[in-house]
Amino acid sequence: MPESASWPRLDGRPHPGAAPQRREQSAMAAEVFRSEVPLTVNGERRSPVVDHRSTLLDVLREQLDLTGAKKGCDHGQCGACTVLVDGRRANSCLLLAVACEGCEITTVEGLRGADGEAPHPLQRAFVERDAFQCGYCTPGQLCSAVGMLAEAAAGHPSHVTKPGAAVPVALDRDEIRERLSGNLCRCGAYPHIVEAVEDVAL
């Protein structure tokens, strides 16, 4: 039997091929590797019991039934899993859920306008500008754009920001393209995405 059979699975169940003793040890180890992680998700207090190896993305999708954030590459390269963690955009496929203890998580389901009402102005702009086709990347694009607006308002520069730029940073098309370059769109809706963000940034 391979040595890996003694390690607990992410779902806590023992490996099918494990001997009875190994299966019992595996189940015990699974409990050791799990703990309650208090989070605030979309304004609601949640305390899922998570495997210490689970990513925030997996916990959101599989335990909290928030399937807006998508698993694309699962390597932090496509941006489909982007959520806001304490107001800052992050690739949830790269974050361990236990590392987010006490954090405030906002997914696309929780986006609201300044008045606290849904939909967020960016969501309206995406619809008006036809800024999506298949829609798989759209939740990540939206969360990333919301985070980007906050970064620009706070004066955080990008690679293309000119030295000595005023605060808040003016979001022209070059700025928007650069700041959203971590979010890929397989359908190629980039021009419409930029237009939608530009509408809200003006």
Dihedral angle over CA of 193, 69, 111, 41, nearest 10: -160
Domain 34-110 has CATH 3.10.20.30: yes
- For residues 108-134, give the mean pLDDT: 94
Report the alpha-carbon angle 85-107-158, nearest 5: 55
Residues of CATH 3.10.20.30 domain(s) within the chain?
A: 34-110
Position 7 scores a pLDDT of: 56
Cα angle for residues 92, 96, 101 (degrees, 5° grid): 100
Q: What is the CATH number of domain 121-201?
A: 1.10.150.120
Q: Which tops the pLDDT comparison, 5 or 53?
A: 53
| pLDDT band (50, 70, 90) for residue 1 | very low
| Mean of the per-residue pLDDT values of the chain | 90
For residue 97, pLDDT over 90 is answered with: yes
Q: CA–CA separation, 71 vs 69, rounded Å?
A: 7
Is residue 88 over pLDDT 80? yes
Give the distance, in angstroms, between the CA of residue 190 and the centroid of all CA atoms in the same chain. 19
The whole-angstrom separation of Cα 122 and Cα 19 is 54
Q: Where in the chain is the domain with CATH 1.10.150.120?
A: 121-201
- At 201, the pLDDT band (50, 70, 90 cuts) reads very high
pTM of the model: 0.84
139-192 pLDDT, tens digit per residue, is: 999 999 999 999 999 999 999 999 988 999 999 999 999 999 999 999 999 999
Distance between CA 30 and CA 180 in Å, rounded? Answer: 39
The neighbouring-strand residues paired with 105 are: 41, 85
